[in-house]
Structure 1
Amino acid sequence: MSWGEYIFGEDSLKIIEDFASLDTGVKVFYRCILPESFKELAIVSHGFTSHSGFYIHIGKELASYGYGVCIHDQRGHGRTAQNLERGYVDSFNDFLVDLETFTMHVQRIFGGERTVLIGHSMGGLIVLLYAGKYGRVGDAVVAVAPAVLIPETRRFSTLIFATIASILFPRKRIELPFTEQQIEEGMKRMDRELLEAMGKDELVLRDTTIRLLVEIWKASREFWRYVERIQIPTLLIHGEKDNIIPIEASRRTYSRLKTLKKELIVYPECGHSPLHEIGWRERIKNMVEWIRNNI
């Protein structure tokens, strides 16, 4: 286990980087950012192609408000993928079970009286689907631009309807399903310092496998069978200018949720990554206020 210290204002935060052998049999890399004491533990699930390193700024900001934060690299992503194929997963359900076992793992080590599940994009789909399908851990869920409604563009549909190919050739590598225009528009809104760090990153996926794309698509459909079963407080955050996952994804989710404590926050100026774009600190502040008022 490696330990580091990060000075945030007048507070010293403990940063932990380690590998955890989960009960699911997978060995995941994770980062935890911890204040000296905390009662709430936030588990952050990153998005497709990404890894925990892209979310450290969120962890440090949440820790400055007194939250313990842990982020693991999903299967097929980041440093977890060292011993697995990059961009590959057998089943999307593996992400859900990993989320539960990882949460229980860090709870045992670091404690925390209450747990908040936070996810972005694919990670938002993971935390929402988990909350509806299993819901054994987590006292609240926050989903940012959740990938619960994937637009069937011609390019993406071509990949999705290759489900048979995903069975016959699950590890076949393919290009990412994003257009140059989508990428360019997203980069324009990004916080400059974060964008520079991402550009130098060697762990981000540059391509993927057909199996992972098909599993994401299938899970986005499966979610709607479980959305009404979510019983914990739920916050949805979406950028009105999101050109990856349409804002209708969060609006429809909000309308279907049965939990009494639910809220949808729409940021007109934001795209797909409100917590990475210019002004992200204020949005995290709003998220913290919601969490404090609802758990």
Structure 2
Amino acid sequence: MADARERYGHREHTLDGTRGRVVVREWPCERARYVALLVHGYGEHIGRYEYVAGVLGAHGAAVFGPDHMGHGKSAGERVLIEDFEDVVTDVHAVEELARAAYPGVPVVLIGHSMGGLIAARYAQRYGTGLAALVLSGPVLGTWELPRALLAYDELPDVPIDTGLLSRDPEVGAVYAADPLVWHGPFRRPTLEAFVRTLETVSKSGDVGALPLLWVHGDDDRIVPLPASRTGVGELRGPDQVERVYPGARHEVFNETNKDEVLADVTAFVDRVLAS
């Protein structure tokens, strides 16, 4: 760990990642019952999870989350990820940071969208150390966007329709104005890495006895529900809970029913910790 700075109710740590500086946010919790390790999605950053961290903190979690390479405050060319295995390795360094700060406390991994892909692969590599896995709108299974874009000789610039994030228009407005969010085109190496990692996760087996909660909006047009269902089915172990929210779009943690979603997450964690 290079340094840690306190600001606005959270701490920022800097780690030496696989491809440069990784900035990690910690929302501390006295007498934490568990650590929640948040894994954000494509083009965004961990600062967008302030509300989620607040709910989890009130529930007894110390919350940690990195900005991935090429995202947010971390180093690297913007949104360039050449190998998701490196991102998984970086997240593992964050878990080690959290365990040093909160020894003996169980760790729950929560991944959204691209972060769901990273979290799924993480569970395959490091799942024996986790208490539970939560996947939100995960990029898994038969997600077709990377292959569709790679078919072009010159990648088209297809900016996200912010209205697809949430039924709450304020979510899209804040996203569009956020300077730490990437608003430009995909990088070809990143799309190629998506394809490889989707295949890797698909062929690398289930998560065994690790408890898994999958939450998804049924009106998610960024990562459609049927595509994820295929991938989640391949990860399925004996303890899986599914929650699909009618009318909800891609970011269920930022949806108009976000408190219902987060209540489902905390109830799942309570059940896992009790067992």
Residue identity in the other structure for 1:60: G
For the 8 Å contact 2:159–2:183, the answer to whether it is kept is no
User: What is the DSSP-based 3-state SS (H/G/I as helix, E as strand, rest coil) of the residue aligned with 1:35?
Assistant: coil
Going from structure 1 to structure 2, the CA distance change for 1:40 and 1:112 (only over 3 Å counts) comes to farther
Is 1:283 matched up with 2:261? yes
| Aligned counterpart, 1:245 | 223
Is 1:104 matched up with 2:96? yes
Matches within 5 A, 1:54-203: 54-81=48-75, 84-111=76-103, 113-152=105-144, 156-161=146-151, 177=158, 183-187=161-165, 189-190=167-168, 192=170, 194-203=171-180
Q: CA RMSD in A?
A: 2.4
Going from structure 1 to structure 2, the CA distance change for 1:40 and 1:229 (only over 3 Å counts) comes to closer
CA apart distance, 1:175:
5.3
Cα distance between partner residues in 2 of 1:137 and 1:38: 17
Q: Percent identity?
A: 25
Q: How many residues align?
A: 269
Cα distance between partner residues in 1 of 2:268 and 2:137: 17
CA apart distance, 1:254:
4.3
Is 1:39 matched up with 2:29? no
| Aligned counterpart, 1:10 | none
User: What is the DSSP-based 3-state SS (H/G/I as helix, E as strand, rest coil) of the residue aligned with 1:278?
Assistant: coil
CA apart distance, 1:278:
1.2
CA apart distance, 1:67:
0.8
Cα distance between partner residues in 1 of 2:41 and 2:104: 25
Cα distance between partner residues in 1 of 2:124 and 2:263: 26
Going from structure 1 to structure 2, the CA distance change for 1:195 and 1:284 (only over 3 Å counts) comes to same
| Aligned counterpart, 2:6 | 3
Cα distance between partner residues in 2 of 1:106 and 1:191: 34
For the 8 Å contact 2:166–2:252, the answer to whether it is kept is no
Cα distance between partner residues in 2 of 1:119 and 1:89: 17
Cα distance between partner residues in 2 of 1:198 and 1:277: 13
Residue identity in the other structure for 1:77: H
Going from structure 1 to structure 2, the CA distance change for 1:186 and 1:30 (only over 3 Å counts) comes to same
Is 1:272 matched up with 2:250? yes
4+ aligned runs moved over 6 Å, structure 1? none
For the 8 Å contact 2:41–2:113, the answer to whether it is kept is yes
**Structure 1 spans left out of the alignment, 5+ residues:** 6-13, 166-171
For the 8 Å contact 1:47–1:121, the answer to whether it is kept is yes
Q: What's the TM-score once normalised by structure 1's chain length?
A: 0.82
User: What is the DSSP-based 3-state SS (H/G/I as helix, E as strand, rest coil) of the residue aligned with 2:206?
Assistant: helix
CA apart distance, 1:138:
1.8
Counterpart selection for 2:182 from 188, 205, 226? 205
CA apart distance, 1:176:
5.2
Going from structure 1 to structure 2, the CA distance change for 1:190 and 1:214 (only over 3 Å counts) comes to farther
Cα distance between partner residues in 2 of 1:101 and 1:27: 12
